[in-house]
Amino acid sequence: MKTRWILAAVAVLMFIGIGVVNAMMPAPNPDKLWRFITHESAYDTWGFWGDHEGLQSGAAPHGPYHKVYVNKRGLYSMTAPAQYGTLIVKENYGDEMGKDLKAVTVMYKVRGYNPEAGDWYWVKYSPKGVAETYGRPQGCINCHASLADNDYIMVHDFGVGK
């Protein structure tokens, strides 16, 4: 009987904890998201996926070089789909030194936002944080859909189909 009460208490605390963490995440809004990733949880303090660390070669439309930062939810996602609340921030560079920042692009996994495309919310910001494209951009969705089985993520392999 005592074990049941302990398990019930643990379950309630976990549920409350998940609710608190979700409440801290920003709404799918470009201004709120920019503030979150640059001030409240600075993305440049996050980690890299082990199979995509540091400055990497890239391709259009993101530019010839990029760095991809991932928050803890994304890093702790071991299989596709990524956990809700995952944030992936890509700094898009025009040079191999990582000094010519052209844009910052973001994928944000929001429960119920866009079920047809993995519940991802996309944003392309200028280097100064001005949202140029956001929401459900068909260009982003069409390109990333080629890896729908990998939860639309192109720079990290969850091992889908292996």
pLDDT of 17: 43
45's tokens: 């303090």
Please name the residue that has the structure tokens 């980690």. Answer: 47
Domain limits of the chain?
Answer: 27-150
**pLDDT tens figures, 128-141:** 999 999 999 999 99
Task: Report whether 86 contacts 72 (CB < 8 A).
Answer: no
pLDDT of 8: 53
Residue 161 has pLDDT above 80, yes or no: no
Q: Does domain 27-150 have CATH number 3.40.630.30?
A: no
Name beta bridge partners: 133.
124
pLDDT of 98: 86
**pLDDT tens figures, 12-57:** 444 444 443 445 899 999 999 999 999 999 999 999 999 999 999 9
Tell me the mean pLDDT in the region 111-122.
98
Q: For residue 56, give Cα distances in angstroms to 51, 59, 128, 152.
A: 11, 10, 22, 19
Q: Is the pTM of this model over 0.75?
A: yes
From CA 3, how far away is CA 81, in angstroms rounded?
33
